[in-house]
Structure 1
Amino acid sequence: MSFGFVAFHYPAPEHLDGFVGNCHRIADYLRAQPGFESVGVWVSSDGSAVVTNASFASEEAFQASADGAHRMGATPDGISDLEIRPREVTFLVSR
């Protein structure tokens, strides 16, 4: 059973490119982690939202990867300095 998330982020327009670049940097880190399955970085057509998603072989693999991503600046809860409103994160389990 895989474990994952989908997150909607709302960076300020002037921070969109930097925010997306940071998401790709974290995605590259995740790809090298044990239990990694997939990751995506998407931007809405109007540029108002960045959607990230990832899946891992287990919740434990996700947690181990999340700790490193957090050290790189990923903040799964709340809001970063680049965002204009709190992100929306949903955790998922495959069935």
Structure 2
Amino acid sequence: MSSGTAAYFPRVPRWHELYKAALFETDRDKIPQRIAEAEKSIVARARELFATNTDNIEEDQALDDALYALRALQSCLGLQASAA
């Protein structure tokens, strides 16, 4: 065991960072762009997972949930859904 003081911090996926940025954006003019960036990243990650032969059920579900939440946000704000 290492005696270093560095704590272990799990790597947060890029798609999740963009997703949170979209959800918590307070500037209404920036929200559509934030949503589009998050959707693009989520779809790219879903394609990566589809191409692998590993079990990624939890992340697949998280990606689906994130897309659903982004679409709900768009709907609540009366924004046009992007074709991600």
Greater share of strand residues, 1 or 2?
Answer: 1
TM bucket normalised to smaller = 0.3 to 0.5
Mark the structure with the bigger radius of gyration.
2
Greater share of helix residues, 1 or 2?
Answer: 2
